[in-house]
Chains A and B, each alone.
Chain A
Amino acid sequence: MREGSMAERGGELPGAEVARARPELRAVAPAADRYADWREVYDDNVVRIHRLMYAKVGNRPDAEDLTAEVFLAALGPLRLSVSRGEVRAYLLRTAQTVLASFWRRRLGYEVTTIELSAAPALPGGGPGLSPGDDGAGGAVATRRAHRILESLPDRYRRVLELRFVEGRSVRDSAAAMGVTVANAKVLQHRALRLAASLPEEGR
């Protein structure tokens, strides 16, 4: 049945010749384009992934938990023989699933998503993020947030700037605006409602 035992093939496992003939099988990237170990993968990507998750859930505790989930899930099966771009793409796909699972558990509704585009936006191939997303530092998200603020009436913009951009408490924001705390809460709520009703711009 078989054409020869392993010895007759010169001691080579049958898999080696197949892998050579079909480069898509366990292709190994050039050494310069690989991560050396999981620590390098982590150090090179933890800030990026955390910023991405923060942009998707808007609070630090959840962003930290989700970042941890991504790395705990991804680093175990990770193959270090592929290019850095492919590793980053794999982390992104993991992040996408982790985020979706988070929303399902927490609210039962997918409030935000990570959209992967088909176009390879990363060196070495692999899916990048869609144009509306940017995992590279949030500059796009920051600009979008400021555009929302700029389109609001003065008092609404002011209260949201105090709360979101300057991170002040309700009490401090009320004092800065010369209103009561109760008024500030109402203003904030109305401002958010108005901002939420604005036409979506690549959300």
Chain B
Amino acid sequence: MRRRRRRPVDAVVEDQPIPAGPPEPGDVDLLRTAIELRSADPGAGVPSEEFVDALRDRLAAELGAAGETPGSPGAVPGPVRPGGAPGRPATGSTPVSRRAWLAAAGAVAAGAAGVVLDRSVLGGSGHGEAPQASGPSGEIEPVEGTWVPVAPASALADGGAQRFSTSTVVGFVSQEGNDLRAVSGACTHQGCLLRLNVDAGRLDCPCHRTAFALDGKTLFHQLAAAPAPLPRLQARRSGTQIEVFVPTERS
């Protein structure tokens, strides 16, 4: 007789993980019933202290520092369309196999180098507020770049700003005093293209109520975590033109 893959219902009855693979006809109802019946024992769902402690250690290692919750740019729930229903949790959340994270927690407990994700700690206030991004999130330095004219210098007189669009980046150039700057025009949350809000002197995201200053600083948002500041691009004046250093398009 052909040996069948273990049925999901049998795994549940034995308090084992549910095996992978499409269920046979009728298996789903049985499985659902078995899952329901597991709740007959009210104590069964209480986690063990070992598990609770191990997960706490793992989270401490992942989050990097006691008491700090680093703002995680881009890892925010929410659909791209504005005003949508509650969305998915953080991207990049891969399934954690029991062995993997218990091993990691064990490594932490044994004093080995913890697993610390490369999250930029954005200078938290330490008063329970998720830290706000404090400065520019870096400069775009393409491996191959070209200086391209994007606006006449006259467009930036009197504190003006101008949107530019090349085949590789979109962004905004502006000037404050002697400070000429160019920033990316893509919202650091989910990539929607920002709109120049002339009256308010800022860049607004059409997808969510996020806004950036013309130098890239995040001004306000309505998300669970502050999106990172806009990346800057190098800008210069060349004759009567403002030029920006953009990635070279590959043909």
Contacts and interface: CB of A to CB of B under 8 A. Distances in A.
A5 to B, nearest CB: 6
A26 B21 contact: no
B56 interface: yes
A144 B39 contact: yes
Contacts of A75: 59, 62-63, 69
Interface in A1-54: 1-3, 5, 13-15, 18-19, 24-26, 28, 31, 34-39, 42-43, 46-47, 50-51, 54
Interface majority SS (helix, strand, loop, mixed), chain A? helix
B82 interface: no
A148 B37 CA distance: 8
Contacts of A2: 159, 198, 201
Contact of A77 (B29, B37, B75, B219): B75
B251 interface: no
A107 B33 contact: no
A155 B208 CA distance: 59
B77 A60 contact: no
B77 A77 contact: yes
Contact of A72 (B69, B93, B130): B93
Nearest to B130: A79
Contacts of B55: 42, 46, 64, 67-68, 71
Which among A46, A62, A64 has the highest number of chain B CB atoms within 10 Å? Answer: A64
A128 B77 CA distance: 18
B128 A73 contact: no
Interface string A74-106: 111111110000000010011001100110011
A175 to B, nearest CB: 17
A203 B29 CA distance: 11
A94 B34 CA distance: 25
A115 interface: no
B72 interface: yes
Interface string A149-177: 10000000000110111110000000000
Interface stretch (B136-144, B164-172, B220-228, B237-245): B220-228
Contact of B17 (A34, A62, A97, A149): A62
B38 interface: yes
B224 A203 contact: no
B159 A1 contact: yes
Interface residues of A, number: 93
Contacts of B199: 3
A31 to B, nearest CB: 7
A35 B36 CA distance: 33
A59 B36 CA distance: 11
Interface in B49-98: 51-52, 55-56, 58-60, 62-63, 66-72, 75-77, 86, 88-90, 93, 95-98
A161 to B, nearest CB: 8
A38 B69 contact: yes
Given A47-B46, A78-B69, A90-B224, A14 B219 contact: yes
Interface of B: 8-9, 11-23, 26, 28-42, 44-47, 51-52, 55-56, 58-60, 62-63, 66-72, 75-77, 86, 88-90, 93, 95-98, 101, 119, 128-130, 158-161, 176-177, 198-202, 209, 211, 213, 217, 219-222, 224-225
Q: Which 5 A-B pairs have the closest CB atoms?
A: A15-B219, A58-B35, A141-B39, A54-B45, A145-B40
Interface of A: 1-3, 5, 13-15, 18-19, 24-26, 28, 31, 34-39, 42-43, 46-47, 50-51, 54-65, 67-81, 90, 93-94, 97-98, 101-102, 105-109, 111-112, 116, 127, 137-139, 141-142, 144-146, 148-149, 160-161, 163-167, 188, 192-193, 195-197, 203
25 contacts: A1-B159, A14-B213, A50-B45, A51-B46, A54-B39, A55-B45, A58-B12, A59-B15, A61-B17, A61-B98, A65-B95, A72-B58, A77-B77, A77-B89, A77-B224, A78-B130, A78-B224, A79-B224, A90-B224, A105-B95, A111-B31, A111-B32, A137-B42, A144-B36, A203-B36
